[in-house]
């Protein structure tokens, strides 16, 4: 009997699930303005605390459903140094800092069973959605085989390439609608209703956290119902850039060319054999977009 129990225990340990929670800031309850989301803003400290509390609500929900889960939390906003490390639930492992492999999905790999997107926002050019953008102000749109994808779609597809489903998203109502178009069966928590780029009608932060915790538990319990959002290669990617000089830098990257015709001033294109390479090139374009002319 002892041997049987011992073997059972080791099997359970081997099958311990791993969940990644990718946490952005713009979709967190109570946050509406860049002065809250940028480190030099007067209300950034408050926004960090709100973001950390929502991350913790998601961690708690995951562990409510499956107490033995290995939970990783990826700080996925701006500098990737926003979550307050000493305030993050001690049962989770925190991924922070940049640059790093796979950007907003830092810590994900084929062993990850599912990913949750907390505090996410709608893509650039869509909306109304609070603080809508795609990766940075340098990118106006990213199209993969003609389909416009923002951070929600790009990160869902990168996770999908690794076989990992997105099982939950929290953010404003527009972000929730965006993920539901891509991932059938995904659970969503609308913590605020977008009234414009810098305006929302939002839940109280504590109410938002309670809903997020319950939804995270439900999502983990039902994760087998959700399939990964996977795009098979080769893929044609077009990126509209905000600045003409960023286009000049982008075409220095092997395989990246100017778009044909009237869009040549602002749009670059490339073909990727799979989504992982497409994702990496997009991350590089974001970095090139931060370079100002000398």
Cβ neighbours, 10 Å, residue 226: 18
- Tell me how far apart the alpha carbons of residues 289 and 249 are, in angstroms, rounded to a whole number: 9
pLDDT band of residue 236 (cuts 50, 70, 90) is: very high
pLDDT at 143 over 80: yes
Q: pLDDT tens, 164-206?
A: 999 999 999 999 999 999 999 999 999 999 999 999 999 999 9
pLDDT of residue 248: 95
Q: Is the pLDDT assigned to residue 45 strictly greater than 90?
A: yes
How much of the chain exceeds pLDDT 90, in percent? 90
Residue that the structure tokens 């050019």 belong to = 125
Q: What is the pLDDT of residue 110?
A: 93
Which residues are CB-contacts of 144 (< 8 A; sequence separation ≥ 6)? 153, 157, 231, 235, 236, 237, 275, 278
Q: Are 218 and 187 in contact (CB under 8 A)?
A: yes
pLDDT value of residue 217: 98
pLDDT class for 10, splitting at 50, 70, 90? Answer: very low
pLDDT exceeding 70 applies to what percent of the chain? 95
- pLDDT bin (cut points 50, 70, 90) of residue 223 is very high
| Overall average pLDDT of the 20-25 stretch | 98
Tens digit of pLDDT for each residue in 88-129? Answer: 999 999 999 999 989 999 999 999 999 999 999 999 999 899
pTM of the complete model: 0.93
User: What is each CA distance from 70 to 29, 39, 62, 245, in whole angstroms?
Assistant: 26, 30, 9, 44
pLDDT reported for residue 14: 58
| Strand-pair partners of 70 | 18
């Amino acid at each position: 009997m002892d041997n049987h129990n011992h073997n059972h225990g080791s099997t359970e340990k081997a099958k311990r699930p791993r969940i990644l929670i990718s946490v952005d800031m713009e979709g967190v309850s109570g946050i509406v303005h860049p002065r809250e989301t940028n480190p030099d803003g007067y209300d950034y400290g408050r926004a960090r605390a709100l973001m950390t509390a929502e991350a913790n609500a998601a961690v708690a929900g995951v562990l409510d459903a499956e107490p033995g889960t290995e939970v990783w939390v990826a700080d996925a906003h701006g500098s990737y140094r926003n979550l307050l490390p000493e305030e993050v639930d001690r049962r989770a492992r925190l991924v922070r800092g940049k640059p790093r492999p796979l950007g907003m999905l830092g810590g994900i790999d084929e062993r990850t069973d599912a990913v949750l997107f907390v505090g996410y926002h709608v893509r650039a050019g869509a909306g109304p959605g609070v603080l809508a953008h795609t990766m940075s102000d340098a990118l106006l749109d990213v199209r993969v085989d003609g389909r416009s994808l923002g951070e929600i779609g790009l990160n869902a597809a990168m996770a999908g390439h690794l076989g990992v489903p997105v099982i939950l998203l929290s953010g404003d109502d527009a972000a929730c609608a965006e993920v539901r178009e891509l991932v059938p069966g995904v659970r969503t928590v609308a913590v605020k209703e977008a009234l414009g780029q810098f305006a929302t009608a939002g839940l109280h932060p504590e109410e938002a956290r309670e809903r997020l915790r319950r939804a995270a538990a439900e999502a983990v319990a039902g994760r087998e119902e959700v399939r990964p959002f996977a795009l098979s290669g080769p893929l044609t990617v077009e990126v509209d850039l905000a600045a003409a000089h960023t286009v000049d830098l982008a075409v220095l990257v092997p395989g990246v060319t100017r778009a044909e015709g009237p869009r040549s001033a602002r749009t670059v294109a490339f073909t990727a054999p799979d989504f992982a390479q497409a994702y990496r090139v997009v991350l590089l374009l974001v970095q090139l977009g931060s370079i100002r002319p000398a």
